[in-house]
């Protein structure tokens, strides 16, 4: 009997925002895997920590700090092989994913490798997108609004064109791009329609109007929400 790999969205930060299904699978998991930095703590593991069994085998998938694609591919190849040895032995493996597994996550790279040879299930989670909306106390979009998700590393002209034509936008992966994003929004006259949310639902979460933010690099887990139509629909 082959085991099943189960990608579990652990939610945006508050451990209580994990789903009942995710928590139940984790509580009986004997093998868990999770993404981690080259050194230091895994955020996905930290979020899931209250729900982990004590005696599970843990596989930390440590990602080198490299802009090069080759070492990253090799890490996923090796991780899939390691997870596969447990699956071949009939053990299920729970794979922790920050937020939701399929919303801009790294899980897809493992999924592509594992699904070729083993059964893989996916348990969706609360994404940073809706967590930031809850923290900002504003709806992301309503009725026939167009909502665009824009990764901040995109070029200025691409971001400008999309921001000008979206009713609502969520700019993700803001991090060191914050000063550039602020300049673009100011230029488009949208600064006072924008809000900044950092580490949504975590203990040190922060939410302020974009006009109250310093134009300095932000943490990776930060988002700028833009509502072009303001509260027209409220």
Binding site for a copy of itself (CB under 8 A): 9, 11-12, 14-21, 23-24, 100-105, 107-109, 111-112, 115, 120, 122-127, 129-131, 133-134, 137-151, 153-154, 158, 162, 166, 201, 231, 233-234
**Contact (Cβ atoms closer than 8 angstroms) between residue 77 and residue 83:** no
Q: Which residues pair with 8 in a beta bridge?
A: 96, 123
Q: Which residues pair with 11 in a beta bridge?
A: 99
Shortest gap between Cβ of 225 and a copy of itself (angstroms)? 10
Shortest gap between Cβ of 55 and a copy of itself (angstroms)? 22
DSSP assignment of 31-97: EEEEEEESSS--HHHHHHGGG--TT-EEEEEEEPS-S-HHHHHHHHHHHHHHHHHHHHTT--EEEEE
Shortest gap between Cβ of 214 and a copy of itself (angstroms)? 25
Shortest gap between Cβ of 168 and a copy of itself (angstroms)? 9
Shortest gap between Cβ of 51 and a copy of itself (angstroms)? 8
- Picking from 227, 152, 219, 166, the residue whose alpha carbon sits closest to that of residue 195 is 227
**57 or 65: whose CB is closer to a copy of itself?**
65
Q: Give the torsion sign (CA, 107, 41, 202, 196).
A: negative
**112 or 183: whose CB is closer to a copy of itself?**
112
- d(C-alpha 92, C-alpha 127), whole Å: 24
Neighbours of 38 (CB within 10 A): 10
**64 or 89: whose CB is closer to a copy of itself?**
64
Shortest gap between Cβ of 59 and a copy of itself (angstroms)? 21
- d(C-alpha 11, C-alpha 225), whole Å: 19
**16 or 57: whose CB is closer to a copy of itself?**
16
**57 or 117: whose CB is closer to a copy of itself?**
117
**31 or 135: whose CB is closer to a copy of itself?**
135
Q: Which residue carries 């200025």 as its tokens?
A: 156
């Amino acid at each position: 009997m082959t085991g099943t790999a189960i990608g579990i969205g652990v939610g945006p930060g508050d451990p209580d925002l994990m789903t009942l299904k995710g928590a139940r699978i984790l509580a009986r998991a004997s093998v868990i895997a999770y993404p981690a930095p080259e050194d230091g703590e895994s955020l996905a593991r930290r979020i899931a920590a209250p729900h982990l069994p004590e005696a599970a085998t843990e596989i930390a998938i440590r990602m080198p700090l490299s802009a090069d694609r080759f070492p990253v591919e090799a890490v996923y190849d090796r991780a899939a092989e390691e997870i596969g040895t447990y699956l071949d032995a009939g053990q299920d493996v729970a794979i922790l994913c920050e937020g939701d597994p399929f919303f801009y996550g790294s899980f897809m790279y493992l999924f592509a490798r594992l699904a070729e040879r083993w059964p893989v299930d996916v348990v969706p989670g609360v994404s940073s997108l809706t967590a930031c909306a809850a923290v900002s106390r504003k709806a992301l979009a309503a009725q026939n609004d167009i909502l665009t998700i824009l990764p901040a590393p995109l070029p200025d002209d691409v971001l400008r064109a999309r921001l000008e034509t979206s009713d609502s936008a969520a700019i993700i992966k803001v991090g060191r791009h914050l000063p550039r994003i602020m300049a673009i929004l100011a230029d488009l006259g949208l600064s006072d329609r924008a809000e900044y949310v950092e580490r949504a639902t975590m203990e040190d979460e922060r939410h302020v109007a974009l006009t109250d933010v310093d134009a300095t690099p932000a943490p990776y887990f930060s988002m700028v929400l833009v509502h072009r139509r303001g509260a027209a629909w409220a």
